Amino acid sequence: MSSTAQVEVRGLAYAYPDGHQALFGVDLVIAPGERVAMLGPNGAGKTTLVLHLNGILTAGAGTVSIGDLEVVKANHREIRRRVGIVFQDPDDQLFMPTVRQDVAFGPANAGLRGEALEARVTAALEQVGMAEYADRPPHHLSFGQRRRVAVATVLAMEPDVLVLDEPSSNLDPASRRELADILRGLDVTVLMVTHDLPYAWELCPRSVILHEGTIVADGSTTDLLSDADLMAAYRLELPFGFAPGAVSKQP
């Protein structure tokens, strides 16, 4: 394990029980505090790779490490604290009667109680601008608000790595902007799986492209998105009129 790596994947290969080979010897190193976008068409293996980061799937070959811990069964409890995954559908993560209870669920399950638990919940909700909704039922919130609460449920565990699966999907423009502002301000390592290339460019200085189970490109997001031949080869398309080298990012 490299002393400077937050996430280190070496030679990762994986085949599903039906024999479908989803990953072929993936190598990926992410430094602490980096924000990296994972791009690629459907079926490239992005979700399969992400599910190895906290042990939901177990490597057929190769290794995955988070900080100084290898992702093996004996370390799963701590690995799953260190790596928080925010799934595409917030309703997959929100199941308690109130927002407060949803955000408290993980830390309480880990043994936090009383004032310490309440402080953890409040801090997580404040990070996503949802503290005033703590006593609301999640199903009374808008989709964008539910996604922010889903992020808070993960932040309440104080993870080292935040994995986001299509964070901008189904959001209206205002909710998309609000979430971007929140994500930009977080002091964690971020791996963002997305088809939203402008969002990747805005939030992640570095991107990797996964194609048919291998990483085929790794570099500056601006450089990758500006390479028309590369984009065409791996079925990635920018929105009409969006030119990464010709627009300015938010501070």
* Residues 6 or more apart in contact with residue 43 via CB below 8 angstroms: none
* Residues 6 or more apart in contact with residue 78 via CB below 8 angstroms: 69
Average pLDDT over residues 158-181: 94
- The per-residue pLDDT for 26 is 96
Residue 41 has pLDDT above 80, yes or no: yes
pLDDT in tens, 69-128: 999 999 999 999 999 999 999 999 999 999 999 999 999 998 999 999 999 999 999 999
Average pLDDT over residues 136-150: 95
- The per-residue pLDDT for 248 is 55
Give the other-Cβ count within 10 Å of 236's Cβ.
21
Determine the Cα–Cα distance for residues 203 and 24; give it in Å rounded to an integer.
28
- The per-residue pLDDT for 42 is 86
Cβ pair 172, 144 in contact under 8 A: yes
Cβ pair 191, 164 in contact under 8 A: yes
- The per-residue pLDDT for 133 is 97
| Mean pLDDT for all residues in the chain | 92
Pairing of strands 161-165, 189-193: parallel
- The per-residue pLDDT for 129 is 94
Bridge partners for 69 per DSSP: 66
What is the pLDDT confidence band of residue 245, given thresholds at 50, 70 and 90?
A: low
Instruction: Identify the CATH homologous superfamily for domain 7-93+155-234.
Output: P-loop containing nucleotide triphosphate hydrolases (3.40.50.300)
- Residue ranges per domain, the chain? 7-93+155-234
Q: Put the strands of the sheet holding 69-70 in their side by side order.
A: 21-30, 7-15, 61-66, 69-70
Bridge partners for 66 per DSSP: 7, 69
- The per-residue pLDDT for 240 is 76
- The per-residue pLDDT for 1 is 44
* Residues 6 or more apart in contact with residue 220 via CB below 8 angstroms: 205, 206, 207
Determine the Cα–Cα distance for residues 137 and 156; give it in Å rounded to an integer.
18
- The per-residue pLDDT for 241 is 74
Cβ pair 15, 57 in contact under 8 A: no
In the chain, pLDDT over 90 holds for what percent of residues? 87
Average pLDDT over residues 46-56: 93
Question: How many residues are there in the chain?
Answer: 251
What is the pLDDT confidence band of residue 27, given thresholds at 50, 70 and 90?
A: very high
Q: What angle do CA 104, 56, 163 make, to 5 degrees?
A: 60
191 three-class SS = strand
Residue 247 has pLDDT above 70, yes or no: no
Alpha carbon 231 to chain centroid, angstroms: 22
What is the pLDDT confidence band of residue 58, given thresholds at 50, 70 and 90?
A: confident
- The per-residue pLDDT for 249 is 57
Residue 251 has pLDDT above 60, yes or no: no
Determine the Cα–Cα distance for residues 119 and 164; give it in Å rounded to an integer.
24
Token output for 232: 């065409």
Average pLDDT over residues 173-185: 93
Determine the Cα–Cα distance for residues 54 and 247; give it in Å rounded to an integer.
36
pLDDT in tens, 192-234: 999 999 999 999 999 999 999 999 999 999 999 999 999 999 9
